[in-house]
Chain A
Amino acid sequence: MLIAKKLKANSINRMLKIENLQASIDNKSILNGLNLEVKAGEVHAIMGPNGAGKSTLANIIAGKEEYEVTNGTIELHGEDISELAPEERAHNGVFLSFQYPVEIPGVSVTNFIKTAINETRKAKGLEDMPAKDMLKMIREKSELLEIDRKFLSRSLNEGFSGGEKKRNEIFQMAMLEPKLAILDETDSGLDIDALRIVANGVNKLKSKDNAVIVITHYQRLLDYIVPDFVHVLYDGKIVKSGDASLALELEAKGYDWIKQELV
């Protein structure tokens, strides 16, 4: 009885469960049987050399259509999401901070996020967020990310510096309040001050009800966003998992020793 109860609690607690995920693009196989389980309240870091499949994993969870999932399952809150459109996954709480945020000329940051929030509310059968509440939320969250007012009326990502783009991604994350946030190399292109602001923003948004997956090459970001688990992704599979100390070891020794361990 006690065990059954515990199992149930576990499955509620479980945010994301990926089993034996295999995926390819243009007939080139990229993920080769990947397993990953993330619970609410946890921070997972995924590290690995270039070409290991880190960004592919992020994009597949978010539902990018170019990838073909050939085998395996992706469950969010115990439900298979692999047939859902990207926007439906977003409505279910998946957020991807893009490695290269896309420029959308002619649509301002403010109005983009308004549209995103109201489309999400529409999908949930809710009315548009009242303008007053929206403005208040925008003010709060932009202050959290130290974003200037003027910045919000600029065209989305157009002419933004690398740091501005990433800060804007986390600003959107703060506005959308996702259950599962995947940060795909959010630290790349950031100077140390911007890194601190972004990491601080992520830490403030963390709670026992949401989870974060941090994809990164470097230990640097993990000094600020401390992971509960670190996974090494290599050749489309997670080949090693550990706690935060694994990231330090990778930083010191590189990835070659893991490749050798595998042989």
Chain B
Amino acid sequence: MELKEKIVSSYVAFENKVDMNSDIHEIRSKALQNFEDLGFPTKKLEAWKYTSLNAVLKEDYSLFPEKENTIELADVKKYFIDDIDAYKLVFIDGKYSSFLSETTHDTFDVCLMSSALAKPKYKAVIENYFNKIAKQDNLTSLNTAFANEGAYIYIPKNVEVEKPIQILNFTTGSEAAILLQPRNLIVVEQNAHVQIIERHQSLTSHPALTNAVTEIFAAKDATVDLYKIQNDATNASLVDNTYIEQKSNSVVSVHTFSFGGNITRNNLNFYQRGEHIDSILKGITIIEGKQHVDHHTLVHHIEPNCESHQDYKGIYDERATAVFNGKVVVDKEAQKTNAYQQNNNILISDKATINAKPQLEIFADDVKCSHGCTIGQLDDAALFYMQQRGIPKKEGKALLMYAFANTVLESVKIPEVKQRITKLIAEKLGVDIGFDL
């Protein structure tokens, strides 16, 4: 049976199991219909021209594993940023692990989507925010149809969450192959502040496909910093759909670090509904082998006097392929917009590929929109210079690459995250140097 059929025919059983009378029953059914009509994306779609899921979709995925799997903290400790105190939401094969998690309901909620969907206490928030900005496209619809588990984060007015929240999704390989569809909702009310670190990690070599959807609402004066660490094993693929709505004077930053995984597709969408908003989108991609990373970003400037800053750096070795498609839309009303986009790429091997496409649609006439895109190689003259000073070629290369990517790291606000990323980069480049730049 094809994956699509298998998914569609499993829907009734899924709904029976979760809650037929759920308030979101209708949203789910509609989304399923939508997915049934659209099917999985193919390369015929402009947005998927350079990313094919065909090979990944051939696996016979388990959709709703029944088994509760446990893992030892010692085995997965290294995937946490464990040198900081943090709230934790940990999911194992799509199921919540209370043992590894640390939730709260004190002044704000860091808990489970499944309980938020089920309990009357959260009804108003779910009604106001759930599936309000997620697109009705094929994969987001697929996620919505089976939306049940994930992170639910609600930060009320004026609350500054003093420690970061880590969301970790592990797959254990207890199934031959697994499809996961986490659904996260993050609502940050007026003048509230939260930092979130997100990671997907497969613990074995069994194929895993994750189709995640995260909706983030940042109210007036809110600040949200989201760090996505994508360093999964090469048997794991990820489609990460993130939708962010911002109100006046809010600042939202998303840093995406893509080092691992088989196929990784990031759909990162910002909608600016207010004035004096700042949206920050940054990314470092370092891949090799046959890895593929696709960044599709959208910043929709809807109202005047807002800013957006994009900075994506990519380094590709061997036969790695990558896509950067950065779309900036400036509506007619969005005068005095300041939109900045930078995308720089280094091809280490002549077999590696980057398809880079800045896409600006500007309907206002008094705006500042800049974009720059470069594709180059490592500078041989710089390498020789470094070698001459005693820095071996491999370390010299790593240092050059690190310096190239470092503009993205500069805006990381959590020092421990920055250190971890630096370490991951050193590991990825196979060197043992500190990168004190």
Give the docked Cα–Cα distance between A114 and B402 (Å).
Answer: 16
A111 cross-chain contacts in B, Cβ below 8 A = 436-437
A101 cross-chain contacts in B, Cβ below 8 A = 385
Question: Which of B388, B391, B407 meets A115, CB within 8 Å?
Answer: B391
Q: Assess whether A18 is interfacial by the CB under 8 Å rule.
A: no
Q: Assess whether B400 is interfacial by the CB under 8 Å rule.
A: yes
Please tell me the size bucket of the interface on A: 20 to 34
User: What 1/0 mask marks residues of chain A from 26 to 50 whose CB sits below 8 Å from any chain B CB?
Assistant: 0000000000000000000000000
Question: Which of B387, B388, B395, B400 meets A104, CB within 8 Å?
Answer: B400
Would you call A115 and B433 a contact (CB within 8 A)?
Answer: yes
DSSP majority for the B interface?
A: helix
Would you call A105 and B433 a contact (CB within 8 A)?
Answer: no
B406 cross-chain contacts in A, Cβ below 8 A = 106
Task: Check A64/B384 contact, CB under 8 A, given A106-B406, A107-B403.
Answer: yes
Give the docked Cα–Cα distance between A116 and B386 (Å).
Answer: 8
Would you call B390 and A90 a contact (CB within 8 A)?
Answer: yes
Give the one of B385, B403, B406, B407 with max A CB within 10 A: B385
User: What 1/0 mask marks residues of chain A from 182 to 212 whose CB sits below 8 Å from any chain B CB?
Assistant: 0000000000000000000000000000000
Task: Check A86/B387 contact, CB under 8 A, given A107-B437, A114-B436.
Answer: yes
A172 cross-chain contacts in B, Cβ below 8 A = 389
Would you call A86 and B403 a contact (CB within 8 A)?
Answer: no
What residue in chain A is nearest B382 (Cβ atoms)? Answer: A102
What residue in chain A is nearest B433 (Cβ atoms)? Answer: A115
Would you call B407 and A106 a contact (CB within 8 A)?
Answer: yes
Q: Assess whether B381 is interfacial by the CB under 8 Å rule.
A: yes
A117 cross-chain contacts in B, Cβ below 8 A = 390
User: What 1/0 mask marks residues of chain A from 204 to 230 whose CB sits below 8 Å from any chain B CB?
Assistant: 000000000000000000000000000
Q: Assess whether A62 is interfacial by the CB under 8 Å rule.
A: yes
Task: Check A119/B436 contact, CB under 8 A, given A90-B389, A104-B386, A106-B403.
Answer: no
Question: Which of B379, B388, B407 meets A86, CB within 8 Å?
Answer: B388
Q: Assess whether B404 is interfacial by the CB under 8 Å rule.
A: yes
Closest chain-A Cβ to B434's Cβ sits at a distance in Å of 8
> How many contacting A-B pairs (Cβ < 8 A)?
79
- Of residues 393 through 437 on chain B, the ones whose CB sits less than 8 Å from some CB of chain A are 393, 395-396, 399-400, 402-404, 406-407, 433, 436-437
B407 cross-chain contacts in A, Cβ below 8 A = 106
Q: Assess whether B392 is interfacial by the CB under 8 Å rule.
A: yes
What residue in chain A is nearest B379 (Cβ atoms)? Answer: A102
Give the docked Cα–Cα distance between A86 and B389 (Å).
Answer: 8
Q: Assess whether A53 is interfacial by the CB under 8 Å rule.
A: no
Give the docked Cα–Cα distance between A185 and B436 (Å).
Answer: 31
Give the docked Cα–Cα distance between A103 and B379 (Å).
Answer: 10
Give the docked Cα–Cα distance between A105 and B381 (Å).
Answer: 13
User: What 1/0 mask marks residues of chain A from 107 to 138 whose CB sits below 8 Å from any chain B CB?
Assistant: 11001111111011001000000000000000
Give the docked Cα–Cα distance between A98 and B406 (Å).
Answer: 26
Give the docked Cα–Cα distance between A62 and B384 (Å).
Answer: 9
Would you call B385 and A105 a contact (CB within 8 A)?
Answer: no
Task: Check A85/B392 contact, CB under 8 A, given A107-B399, A111-B437, A114-B436.
Answer: yes
Give the one of A107, A116, A176 with max B CB within 10 A: A107
What residue in chain A is nearest B401 (Cβ atoms)? Answer: A106
Q: Assess whether A163 is interfacial by the CB under 8 Å rule.
A: no
Would you call B390 and A120 a contact (CB within 8 A)?
Answer: yes
- Of residues 72 through 112 on chain A, the ones whose CB sits less than 8 Å from some CB of chain B are 85-87, 89-91, 94-96, 98, 101-108, 111-112
Closest chain-B Cβ to A158's Cβ sits at a distance in Å of 10
Interface residues of B (CB under 8 A from A): 379, 381-382, 384-393, 395-396, 399-400, 402-404, 406-407, 433, 436-437
Interface residues of A (CB under 8 A from B): 62-65, 85-87, 89-91, 94-96, 98, 101-108, 111-117, 119-120, 123, 172, 176
